Each structure stands twice: as structure tokens, then as C-alpha cells.
Amino acid sequence: MKSLYFFITIFFCLVVRAEDSLKIHLNSPIDRQKPSADCLDEICTSLLSMITNSRSSIDFAIYGLRGQLSILEALDDAEKRGVHVRGVIDKDVYGDSYYSDTHLLEKTLKNIRSDFSADLRRKEYLERDDREYEDSTECTRPIFTDGPLQCFEDKGYASKHEIYFSGDIMHNKFFIVDKQFIWTGSTNISDTGIGGYNANLAAEIDSKSIASLYTEEFNQMFELDLYHKEKFKRNKNIAKMNIGQSIVSLFFSPQDNAMDDGVIRLIDEAEESINVTIFFLTHNELSKALAKAKARGVNVRVILDATAATNGYSKHEYLRKKGIPLKVESWGGKMHMKAAVIDQKHIIIGSMNWTKAGGRKNDENTLVVRNDHQNAKLMNEFFDKLWNSIPEKFLTKDPLPESIDSGGSCFDGIDNDFDKKIDEEDFFGCFSF
């Protein structure tokens, strides 16, 4: 009788077990007044629910923590009830983290590690072989710049200030729960991220096979102390899986060549349309791929972050000159997504900015999903909503990220343009006319 009950139970579990799934959560910055420490938006509650319902294990790799203590408390509660919790965070060569509450993870949870040692090893290497930021010599340096000179299409690009190595970035934002559920995307665990202020995307995945690949990546960092360029390459064929009718290709940076084999390859295949929502876009070959797509008749549109538009290496003016409609956002919050929809059926999502560092240095994860009509439709509708919220004048003009042109950025209590001046202190942007 017990044997019969056992087989009935197993059969029931197999029948009711739904097939693998991928659900997209999108967060709009439109009409948001300021960041929030509360976990009220779907982009946050989806993660909180996953942690709260965990049974055996949670592995997470996140850039850091600011505000959002409900997530920290949920992780603490999970650990106290017997869930095995492990985490990886980012630190620079000075042992500091970008987000101010990151240290609370180490203080509260038992098993937290970082890329600190890896950054020190990289720093020692660069001190022996000082070629990290070599200047180009084939173009003219822009005025008032001191950063490394980059030549692209006969034009010089450079940052205003010199760049010094302070560490590559463990820039992932993923959680693996019970070796089956994954939460990942562009959203940081912060008041501006899951707090709902920025435009962001999170993917909620139910797949043991995909979870196993995330776990393998996590273990390289947590168990082997391998980060950034130190990580070993994998067999690319095992990183391609099916979710229903969709084909999911998973890329981890920098070892999987996500930019060339993932993002650019799909853009090169585009036949009808490309809608891009992106934080930073400085990658040369990626920019050329978008321009080529436009030249062969593909309808290309881009929404770029206002802070990114001030970056000395941004390629947004190049794309505009190639005839691509590109709007720089004018909200208080940021365009923080790293996503695209291709031909209304393929999607790109993840943590990787479209930069050289994102593809070749930082720890990132990128998913290229083919034939996902449902999520592509959802993301395209979201793109149109964001696009229509930005005035037409920002097709040619760039609003300053902390200014009267950018929503409530002058009254939101944060440093939107990273100049160490907040709101009324940022006189040039907020109060000069």
C-alpha cells in the first residue's frame, strides 16, 4: 500500500509540474518622484516572494545593497530556518562597495564573499604590464579631456578625467533558489533599483537546467575565488536550452563572449525591427552593427540614459548621424535596462551594459531568447510607453541627468549625475537658466 501511495505521489508531481517558464517583470520610471526603501513594486515583490518561499538553498550574486532591508531580512529569516544561503558581492581594490548597505550582508549572513582578492591580483598584474589604458594615435583628442583616447570612425573619444584601475566589477544581479528558480536582469537591490525609481527589467525563470548553469557560474566565484578574466570557459553548446517554443542562450561575461556571440549576432540577423533600452552604449562594434541594421532597412530605435549620454565614449551621436531615432530619457530615474527586442519575437535581457568592460572585464549574465513572442510583445509595448513619455526634442538634444529637464531629479535626494552634488547643490543643472 505504501509503495502504491509512493508511485501515485510521484505521478501526481510529474503531472502537475509545469514546463519551464520565463516571466518578465518591467518597472516604469514615469511619474516616479524619488527612490524608495519599500518593497512594493512587482520587480521587488517577485524576488521577495521567491526568497520567502525558499526551502533548501539560496545562492545570489549582486552588485550590492542600498535600502531594501526587507530583502536582507528575508535572507536572514531563510538562513535561520535552515535554508543554506550563500552570496557574492562586489568590492574594489580598497575593499569598498558602491552601495552603502552592502556591508550589512556580511554582518548579517554567514556565507558572503567578494571579488576583492581577484581585483588585487588584477591590480598587481597591471602594475607589471601597464597597457590597460593605452592611448590611440590616429585621431584628435577632444578638448577638456584627460582620459584614454579612443578612435572610432575617425573621431576621438575620451573621458574628462584620467581613469585609474580600482577593480573590475562583479556586476551580476541574480538569485538561484532551491536549484530551480532564478531571478535575474538589470535591477540592483537598491532604492533606485527594486525600489522602483529606474526603468528596469527582471526575469523570473523556473528551470532546473538553467539554474544548474547559474550555479556553476556562482561556484566559480564563491568556491574557487575566480572572477572576471580568471574564470574558465565553458562548452558553449550546453548553454542553449528550450523553454516551451523558445530557445534560450545563456552567456556569462567575460568568458562567454556575450557581446559578439550573443548580442551582435542577433542584431546582425535582424530583418524588420530592433528596439533597444540601454543604460550605457559605448561599444564600437555593437554600434556599427546597429548602424548596419539601419542601412539594410531595419527599423531601429534606441532609448539611452541621460547620464550615459554625458560619457565621453558614448556612441549615441554616431547612431543619430546614421539615421537611427535615439531618445535620451528625461525622467528623474534612470534608463537602467540592458535589453532589446528583435523582429518582435527575439529578446535580449541581462545585467551587461553594451560596453567593452561589460563584455570583456566584468562579471555579467546575458540571456538571448529566440521565438518568445509573448515576452517580446510585452517588452515592445513597454518600449513604446517609455518612448512616448520622452519629448521629441530629446531626439536631438540631451537633457542633463540632474536638471530641470529630467523629471524630479532636482528634488529626489540623490546624486543623479555622480558629481557628488545633490539637488540644490547641483546649481549648474538645477538652478541655472
346-394: per-residue pLDDT in tens? 999 999 999 999 999 999 999 999 999 999 999 999 999 999 999 999 9
CA of residue 358 relative to chain centroid, distance: 9
CB proximity list for 314: less than 8 A, separation 6 or greater: 280, 281, 282, 304, 308
- Secondary structure of the chain as H, E, C letters: CHHHHHHHHHHHHHHHCCCCEEEEEEECCCCCCCCCCCCCCHHHHHHHHHHHCCCCEEEEEECCECCCHHHHHHHHHHHHCCCEEEEEECCCCCCCCCCCCCHHHHHHCCCEEECHHHHHHHHHHHHHCCCCCCCCCCCCCCCCCCCCCEEECCEEECCCCCCCCCCCCECCEEEEECCCEEEEECCCECCCCCCCCCEEEEEEEECHHHHHHHHHHHHHHHCCCCCHHHCCCCCHHHHEEEECCEEEEEEEECCCCHHHHHHHHHHHHCCCEEEEEECCECCHHHHHHHHHHHHCCCEEEEEECHHHHCCCCCCHHHHHHCCCCEEECCCCCCECCEEEEECCCEEEEECCCECHHHHHCCEEEEEEEECCHHHHHHHHHHHHHHHHHCCHHHHCCCCCCCCCCCCCCCCCCCCCCCCCCCHHHCHHHHCCC
Note the residue count of the chain.
433
What confidence score (pLDDT) does residue 233 get?
82
Neighbours of 110 (CB within 10 A): 10
What confidence score (pLDDT) does residue 131 get?
63
* CA dist., res. 112 & res. 72, Å (int): 12
Note the pLDDT tens digit of each residue in 113-138: 999 999 999 999 998 866 666 666 77
What confidence score (pLDDT) does residue 11 get?
42
Domains parsed from the chain with CATH numbers: 21-158+168-395 (3.30.870.10)
The average pLDDT across 185-189 equals 98
pLDDT band at 431 (very low <50, low <70, confident <90, very high): confident
* CA dist., res. 187 & res. 349, Å (int): 11
What confidence score (pLDDT) does residue 154 get?
86
Note the pLDDT tens digit of each residue in 198-225: 999 999 999 999 999 999 999 999 999 9
CA of residue 135 relative to chain centroid, distance: 28
- For residue 138 the three cell numbers come to 590616429
Query: Which residue, among 189, 308, 319, has the nearest Cα to 267 in the 3D structure?
Result: 319
Are 263 and 346 a contacting pair, CB within 8 Å?
no
Neighbours of 113 (CB within 10 A): 19
Query: Which residue, among 263, 309, 320, 314, has the nearest Cα to 406 in the 3D structure?
Result: 309
> Is pLDDT at 77 greater than 90 in this prediction?
yes
Distances 330 to 93, 195, 387, 409 between C-alpha atoms, Å: 34, 19, 10, 9
CB proximity list for 349: less than 8 A, separation 6 or greater: 24, 185, 186, 201, 203, 338, 339, 366, 367, 369
pTM higher than 0.85 for the full model? yes
* CA dist., res. 416 & res. 192, Å (int): 10
